[in-house]
Each structure stands twice: as structure tokens, then as C-alpha cells.
Amino acid sequence: MNTLTEDPETEEPVTTGAVSTEAVSTSAVETAPVETAPVETAPEAPAPVETAPEEPAQKKTTEEK
């Protein structure tokens, strides 16, 4: 009976360690969404379009002259 008590005790710490490693694997899965972030940078490309309006602004300066 004593041996049985020791077995579960030893298994507990070992199992906890394995669970911790599994948790890390889950974190890696969470980093996957971060890779999709670059897709969000695509909308930034249209931003340069906003600089286009700046060109007409320069024309206004010429009109002022």
C-alpha cells in the first residue's frame, strides 16, 4: 500500500511538468495570430494615398504667389 501512495505522488509532479510544457505549446498557437498582423499593415499602403492631397496643397502655394 505504501508503494501505491508513492506512485501517485511521483506521478503528480511529473504530470504537472508535462502540463506546463503543453501550456507553452498553446502559447505558440497564440503567436500564430500575430503572423496575421502583417495583413493589417496592408491597409497602411493606402495611407500613401493620403499624401496625394498634399500635392494639390503645393499648387495652392503657387496660386498665392
Q: What is the pLDDT along the chain (65 residues), one digit of tens a residue?
A: 555 555 555 555 544 544 444 545 554 455 555 555 555 555 555 555 555 555 555 666 666 55
SS (HEC) of 3-59: HHHHHHHHHHHHHHHHHHHHHHHHHHHHHHHHHHHHHHHHHHCCHHHHHCCHHHHHH
Distance of alpha carbon 18 from alpha carbon 13, whole angstroms: 9
Residue 46 phi, psi dihedral angles, 5° rounding: -60, -20
pLDDT of residue 38: 52
User: Model-level pTM greater than 0.85?
Assistant: no
pLDDT of residue 20: 47
Question: Rg of the chain's alpha carbons, rounded to an integer?
Answer: 30
